[in-house]
């Protein structure tokens, strides 16, 4: 009989990295007869296996009220301290209820004791682990010390307590080498490195009847070359380099397609990109209104596609990010056998590049050599196929579910003493 595993976070909904990776972990655990249940403030999991506590969501008004008073300030009011304690106590009791209701035997905390988007939730989780000694895995995606917005704060005591906590019942997992070293240096905590993964043992199916018309629906002609930027429109994604690439390729058949919207960081960067593209004569398509988390029809009866509907129709993926915690879009491009131009951001340079992938790589800026490599991989079918096959084999070796399965076996064994996985 497998473990009854409770996944805990502030949100399990949508296409953010935490939600996606959590679903992959749950799938691997299910394959080994472990049962998963879900606790968060926002959920898209089935109600019969989940517990939704609105105050656990980082966007809840109570949490926003606290955040407005602790970040960017060096002193906090006694009322703020009291609200943190009260909300932590409430959330801790809801965790007790979650564990009782579903008879949870192991917790997997997803980023909730890593980045303090919801400080009271992190404190509640820490106290709950201390009081129950329940076997727990903390999966860390991005630590608070990696984000500028958390540097000035009025809650150093709580950060030291809970982000992340230290406890013998707690095993830690990180997604890159830099995080592993920082966690050891800053907290004296050892961890297991588990990269983000995809199911490379099972290649994606070909486009189906629903998605066969994607290119026509976003206004591309049959001979257009679709260059896909599969990210949100935020400055750290370096999308200006994708515009420069299309400009340097110098052919009107190359169209830059951006899949996601600007999100919560404002539209100034979106407007700058529009101006850059116009000045460079680059045909740029913003198609966020046609892309969603699930397939459906919009209010005009038009199809809404998923991001995974786009990849099979792309001729090239651009991923010129300045910073990434790992880089899911890179893995997705390899999974769908689409060539990818990548910027040598720090995690890629240290964790991924040494694995031996073959692709055009820029080092902070585009050169003529990189552009010609892109042109070759787009126009030379035999060379492109050779690179894509090689990259898929590398990903199968280093970033497949089998890698996650081995790492998870170690973690579960460490915290439960059982080896049936």
pTM here is: 0.88
Quick one: 94 and 159 in the same domain?
yes
Q: Which residues of 232-271 are buried (b: 16+ CB within 10 A; e: fewer)?
A: bbbeebbbbbbbbbbbbbeeeebbbbbbbebeeeeeebbe
Pure H helices in 72-211: 78-102, 119-132, 156-162, 177-187
User: How far is Cα 59 from Cα 37, in angstroms, rounded to an integer?
Assistant: 22
User: How far is Cα 384 from Cα 376, in angstroms, rounded to an integer?
Assistant: 8
Quick one: 178 and 69 in the same domain?
yes
CATH of the domain at 84: 3.40.50.2000
Q: What percentage of residues in the chain have a pLDDT greater than 90?
A: 85
Q: Concatenated DSSP letters for 30-44?
A: HHTT-EEEEEESEE-
Is 204 contained in some domain? no
The residue length of the chain stands at 421
pLDDT in tens, 157-178: 999 999 999 998 899 999 999 9
Quick one: 90 and 132 in the same domain?
yes
pLDDT in tens, 55-78: 999 999 999 999 999 999 999 999
Looking at residue 258, its pLDDT comes to: 96
pLDDT in tens, 76-134: 999 999 999 999 999 999 999 999 999 999 999 999 999 999 999 999 999 999 999 99
Looking at residue 420, its pLDDT comes to: 52
Looking at residue 264, its pLDDT comes to: 58
Looking at residue 265, its pLDDT comes to: 62
More reliable by pLDDT, 153 or 411: 153
Cβ(320)–Cβ(242) under 8 Å? yes
Number of folded domains that form the chain: 2
User: How far is Cα 371 from Cα 376, in angstroms, rounded to an integer?
Assistant: 9
Quick one: 29 and 159 in the same domain?
yes
Residue (of 304, 349, 355) closest to 334 by Cα position: 355
pLDDT (average), residues 21-35: 88
Three-state DSSP class for residue 362: strand
Q: Which residues of 357-384 are buried (b: 16+ CB within 10 A; e: fewer)?
A: bebbbbeeebeeebbebbbebbeeeeeb
Is 149 contained in some domain? yes
pLDDT in tens, 143-152: 999 988 999 9
- How are the residues of the chain apportioned to helix, strand and coil, as percentages rounded to the nearest 5? 50, 15, 35
pLDDT confidence band for 418 (50 / 70 / 90): low
pLDDT at 417 over 80: no
Is 206 contained in some domain? no
pLDDT at 415 over 80: yes
pLDDT (average), residues 267-281: 94
Looking at residue 16, its pLDDT comes to: 80
User: How far is Cα 78 from Cα 72, in angstroms, rounded to an integer?
Assistant: 17
pLDDT at 34 over 90: no
pLDDT at 276 over 80: yes
pLDDT at 421 over 60: no
> What are the counts of helices (DSSP H) followed by strands (DSSP E) for the chain?
15, 17
pLDDT (average), residues 267-291: 94
Is 24 contained in some domain? yes
pLDDT at 261 over 90: no
Looking at residue 361, its pLDDT comes to: 97
pLDDT (average), residues 243-255: 96
Quick one: 25 and 83 in the same domain?
yes
pLDDT at 179 over 60: yes
Strands 296-297 and 303-304, how do they pair? antiparallel
Q: DSSP secondary-structure letter at 300?
A: T
Query: Can you say whether the dihedral through the CA atoms of 140, 89, 34, 168 is positive or negative?
Result: positive
pLDDT at 1 over 70: no
Quick one: 173 and 310 in the same domain?
no
Is 209 contained in some domain? no
| Lowest-pLDDT range of 7-11, 112-116, 261-265, 412-416 | 261-265
Looking at residue 137, its pLDDT comes to: 96
Range of the domain at 118: 4-197+401-416
Cβ(63)–Cβ(90) under 8 Å? no
Quick one: 75 and 140 in the same domain?
yes
Is 327 contained in some domain? yes
Is 17 contained in some domain? yes
pLDDT in tens, 318-333: 999 998 888 889 999 9
Q: DSSP secondary-structure letter at 71?
A: B
User: How far is Cα 128 from Cα 112, in angstroms, rounded to an integer?
Assistant: 13
pLDDT in tens, 348-365: 999 999 999 999 999 999
Quick one: 187 and 332 in the same domain?
no
Residue (of 231, 234, 235) closest to 260 by Cα position: 231
Quick one: 31 and 127 in the same domain?
yes
pLDDT in tens, 201-246: 999 999 999 999 999 999 999 999 999 999 989 899 999 999 999 9
Q: Is the peptide bond before 347 cis (omega within 30 degrees of 0)?
A: no
Measure the N-to-C terminal CA separation of the chain; round to a whole number of Å.
10
More reliable by pLDDT, 262 or 370: 370
Quick one: 95 and 179 in the same domain?
yes
Widest Cα–Cα separation across the chain? 67
Is 205 contained in some domain? no
Average pLDDT score, the chain: 93
Q: Concatenated DSSP letters for 304-353?
A: EBPHHHHGGG-SEEEE--S--SS-HHHHHHHHTT--EEEE--HHIIIIIG
Looking at residue 217, its pLDDT comes to: 94
The residues, any chain, with a CB within 8 Å of residue 251's CB and separated by 6 or more, are 225
User: How far is Cα 133 from Cα 138, in angstroms, rounded to an integer?
Assistant: 14
Quick one: 180 and 293 in the same domain?
no
Task: Pick the most confident of 262-271, 290-299, 411-420.
Answer: 290-299
Quick one: 185 and 266 in the same domain?
no
């Amino acid at each position: 009989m497998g473990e009854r595993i409770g996944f805990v976070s502030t949100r399990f909904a949508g296409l953010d990295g935490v939600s996606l990776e959590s679903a992959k972990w749950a799938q691997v655990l299910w394959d080994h007869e472990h049962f998963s249940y879900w606790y968060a403030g926002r959920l898209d999991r089935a109600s019969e296996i989940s517990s939704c506590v609105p105050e656990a969501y980082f966007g809840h008004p109570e949490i926003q009220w606290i955040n407005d008073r602790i970040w960017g300030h060096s002193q906090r009011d006694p009322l703020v301290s009291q609200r943190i304690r009260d909300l932590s106590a409430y959330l801790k009791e809801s965790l007790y209820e979650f564990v009782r209701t579903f008879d949870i035997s192991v917790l997997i905390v997803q980023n909730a004791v890593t980045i303090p988007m919801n400080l009271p939730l992190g404190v509640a989780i820490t106290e709950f682990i201390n009081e129950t000694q329940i076997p727990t895995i903390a999966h860390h995606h991005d630590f608070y010390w990696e984000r500028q917005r958390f540097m000035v704060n009025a809650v150093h005591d709580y950060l030291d307590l809970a982000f992340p906590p230290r406890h013998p019942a707690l095993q830690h997992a990180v997604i890159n080498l830099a995080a592993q070293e920082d966690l050891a240096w800053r907290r004296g905590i050892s961890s297991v490195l588990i990269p983000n993964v995809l199911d490379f043992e099972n290649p994606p199916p070909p486009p189906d009847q629903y998605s066969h018309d994607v290119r026509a629906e976003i206004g591309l002609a049959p001979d257009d070359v679709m260059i896909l930027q599969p990210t949100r429109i935020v400055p750290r994604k370096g999308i200006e380099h994708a515009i420069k690439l299309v400009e340097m390729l110098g052919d009107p058949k190359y169209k830059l397609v951006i899949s996601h919207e600007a999100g919560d960081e404002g539209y100034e960067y979106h407007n700058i990109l529009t101006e850059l593209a116009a000045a460079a004569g680059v045909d740029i398509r913003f198609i966020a209104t046609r892309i969603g988390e699930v397939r459906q029809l919009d209010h005009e009866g038009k199809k809404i596609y998923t991001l995974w509907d786009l990849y099979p129709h792309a001729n090239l993926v651009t991923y010129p990010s300045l910073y990434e915690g790992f880089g899911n879009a890179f893995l997705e491009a390899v999974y769908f056998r689409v060539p990818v131009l990548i910027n040598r951001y720090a995690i890629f340079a240290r964790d991924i590049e040494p694995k031996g992938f073959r692709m055009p790589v820029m080092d902070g800026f585009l050169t003529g050599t990189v552009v010609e490599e892109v042109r070759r991989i787009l126009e030379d079918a035999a060379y492109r196929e050779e690179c894509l096959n090689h990259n898929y084999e590398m990903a199968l070796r280093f970033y497949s579910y089998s890698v996650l399965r081995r790492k998870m076996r170690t973690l579960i064994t460490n915290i439960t003493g059982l080896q049936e996985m």
